[in-house]
Structure 1
Amino acid sequence: MAEHTAEQAGTTDSDRAPTDLRVRLDEEVTLRVRHRPGAADPAFLLVHGLASNARLWDEVAARLCAAGHAVYAVDLRGHGETEAPEDDTYGTAAAAADVLAAGVQLGLTRAIVGGHSWGADVALTLATEHPSFVAGLALVEGGYTDATVFYGTWERFVSMMSMAGPALEGVTLEDMRGYLRAMHPDWSDSAIEASLSSLRTGADGSLSPRLSPRQRTAILRSVWSCPPSRLYAGITQPVTLLPATPVPDNGRIAPDVLALFEQLRASLVRATEGLPHATVHEYQGADHDLHAQHPDRVATHLLELAESVGRSEVM
């Protein structure tokens, strides 16, 4: 029988400090779930992106909790403090099944599920397969671009994904901390440390990815083979899309970059047309990790979604 235990973590105000729950799914996998309590409905269930971790949601979660809502942020298998079994249970469908299993054990019903990047695909999958569990969807920088359309070929997709982060060979924890501070000067120290938790630190201070190449490729293959637009027809819940969009063209943007921007805009149009109850809030010129860069604004938009869900469910 599955079970979960809890231990205190975090440095926020004592009444809103996150509690680390350990939710056992099977003999190999126990998910780490960062929880903040709250009595207001609905609860929030937050899912990180590829090669990220639950702590990136911390500042958003603290604000949702301050508004009275319970918040649960999950470390998916192979990420953060959740185990990485050496098997083939990696991909969008497997992650959605894990999130559902954890949510059921934690007693959640009719939650707002927020997903960042690949986590948005996970949230969409969960809402399609288990609509009664999901009251609303927040798709943060994900869930609206089909890799097959945006990248064209599998080889280009994999190549672009491999360029998403810095090379780690010879890089120490302090090196990476300095790199992140230089790249994201408007992130808080908490967000910087949360991002560092996405990597494994060796005894000598060296860094390495938590996912093996095989596990990462399995996840990318699932993203490639199941474009999110295929799921839109099954989504009946209110949806909030939070995309990072480029600043208006100033005449100095390279043509190839402009073409990518136009593809992004077309993807957003397709998503709003395919999702019947969608609201879009654009973050012009923002980082991919919106929840780390703009936690106040992201939390505000998630709370607006909660209000709309509450109104729709009393009508």
Structure 2
Amino acid sequence: MTRKPNKKLARMRAAAATPARRSFVARHARSLGAGAAALVGSAVINRIQARRAEAKTPPAGAFVDIDGTRLHYVERGQGPAVVLLHGNGMTLQDFEASGVLGLAAEHHRVLAFDRPGFGYSSRPRSTLWTPTAQADVIARALVQLGVERAVVVGHSWGAMVALALALNHPEIVGGLVLLSGYYYGTIRPDVLPAALPAVPVVGDLMAMTLSPIAGLLTGPIALKASFAPAPVSDKMADFPAGLALRPSQIRAAAAEGALMIPAAMALAPRYPELALPVIIMAGEGDLVTFPRKHAERLARDIPGAELRLVSGQGHFLHYGVPERVTASIAALILRAKMPASRDAPTA
């Protein structure tokens, strides 16, 4: 039996073959091609900018290798050991630019680390870089460098790494100075969008193309919020922002954003175990890690901890009051009666 022709299908095929339809498809194909070309172009530009940033700010110190993880660190001064751990998205130059490193090195042996994935330290993808994982690597590096006991200073995300060091490697840590830390799991609507570059494949594409540009555009707003209520410090001009906009560091920062809440929740039940001198510092106006939710609560949970709130300062208080930070370091060294650190062996 002969089938009747499908008039509706015939009309659709005829419409698809019209010049208007062909023009519509061509226009979208051109748009997709232009978008792909823009992504490729931005990836090339970002790569060039990353190389320029590295040429402008080459490694400032030395390297120590721990089971496939290469840590970059700067060492200065002599005396009791002090370890500096920067926050998320930053590098060890954060302590250099703020003045904390130089002031502390006048009387102490100071080691400032690029945490895994930041600055010139590697971040193998085979490891989930929780505060505990980072503390384990840094503890082994300190042993290799001849550090037996140290005051550990951690800022923001670095404060969680400092806490993990004290909890899991108490033989190495003589005291803690915690700056503007995030210590408890709280609702953070800003975490999800910031963590997108950590998503496999899609995140890699974002980190190579769009995220560095977005970071360049939104950086001034983020800095203003981090310093508020204080103005953005002129010292930030000395921080190598170009290093922070490299795709590799953007991925590391996004991963730490995604881990922030669960990491704090994992550490929080153990805070009462700490039995060492602790000074908790926070800016009273901190809009990033609110002192009442974190610093003040932590001071209640750690036996004998001392809380030092700084008026007129925000999340980046160490730029505004580096002398107070180094005074806290000196106070802990006296309280813990820490001896001068021996010279480091060859790494």
The answer to whether TM tops 0.5 is yes
Q: Which has the higher helix share?
A: 2
Q: 1:162 to 1:86 in 2, by over 3 A?
A: closer
Q: 1:188 to 1:102 in 2, by over 3 A?
A: farther
Work out which structure has the larger RCO, using CA pairs closer than 8 Å and 6 or more positions apart in sequence.
2
Instruction: Output aligned runs, 1:146-157, within 5 Å.
Output: 146-147=184-185, 150-151=186-187, 156=189
Q: 1:36 to 1:112 in 2, by over 3 A?
A: same
Q: CA deviation at 1:223?
A: 4.1
Does residue 163 of structure 2 align to residue 124 of structure 1?
yes
Measured in 1, the distance between the counterparts of 2:326 and 2:161 equals: 20
More displaced stretch, 44-53 vs 176-185:
176-185
Query: 1:60: which partner in 2?
Result: 100
Tell me if structure 1 keeps the 8 A contact 2:94–2:239.
yes
Within the candidate set 33, 38, 44, 2:82 is matched to 44
Within the candidate set 212, 217, 220, 2:251 is matched to 212
Measured in 1, the distance between the counterparts of 2:314 and 2:338 equals: 32
Deviations 1:96-153 (A, max 9, x none): 111101111110011001111111111111111111111000110015x312xx31xx
Query: 1:35: which partner in 2?
Result: 75
Tell me if structure 1 keeps the 8 A contact 2:131–2:263.
no
Query: 1:80: which partner in 2?
Result: 119
Tell me if structure 1 keeps the 8 A contact 2:153–2:162.
yes
Deviations 1:6-42 (A, max 9, x none): xxxxx9xxxxxx9612111133x2111111121x22x
Report the TM-score, using the length of structure 2 for normalisation: 0.65
For structure 1, list consecutive stretches of 5 or more residues without a partner in the other structure. Answer: 1-10, 12-17, 202-207, 248-256
Q: AA paired with 2:312? A: G
More displaced stretch, 71-80 vs 280-289:
280-289
Q: 1:57 to 1:197 in 2, by over 3 A?
A: farther
Within the candidate set 262, 279, 286, 1:224 is matched to 262
Deviations 1:36-55 (A, max 9, x none): 121x22x1011111221111
Q: AA paired with 1:50? A: N
Measured in 1, the distance between the counterparts of 2:74 and 2:141 equals: 12
For structure 2, list consecutive stretches of 5 or more residues without a partner in the other structure. Answer: 1-56, 197-209, 340-347
**Percent of aligned positions that are identical:** 24
Within the candidate set 288, 302, 314, 2:315 is matched to 288
Q: CA deviation at 1:85?
A: 2.5
Tell me if structure 2 keeps the 8 A contact 1:54–1:80.
yes
Query: 2:233: which partner in 1?
Result: 187
Q: AA paired with 1:158? A: V
Query: 1:4: which partner in 2?
Result: none
Q: CA deviation at 1:306?
A: 1.9
Q: CA RMSD in A?
A: 3.5
Measured in 1, the distance between the counterparts of 2:120 and 2:86 equals: 13
Q: AA paired with 2:84? A: L
Measured in 2, the distance between the counterparts of 1:245 and 1:75 equals: 27
SS at match of 2:181: coil
SS at match of 2:319: helix
Within the candidate set 191, 210, 225, 1:158 is matched to 191
Q: 1:98 to 1:187 in 2, by over 3 A?
A: same
Measured in 2, the distance between the counterparts of 1:267 and 1:182 equals: 21
Does residue 292 of structure 2 align to residue 265 of structure 1?
yes
Q: AA paired with 2:315? A: H
Q: 1:220 to 1:172 in 2, by over 3 A?
A: closer
Query: 2:152: which partner in 1?
Result: 113
Within the candidate set 298, 301, 305, 2:325 is matched to 298
Larger radius of gyration: 2
Aligned length: 263
Query: 1:5: which partner in 2?
Result: none
Query: 1:205: which partner in 2?
Result: none
Instruction: Output aligned runs, 1:240-259, within 5 Å.
Output: 240-246=279-285
Tell me if structure 2 keeps the 8 A contact 1:181–1:187.
no
Query: 1:102: which partner in 2?
Result: 141
SS at match of 2:88: coil
Report the TM-score, using the length of structure 1 for normalisation: 0.71
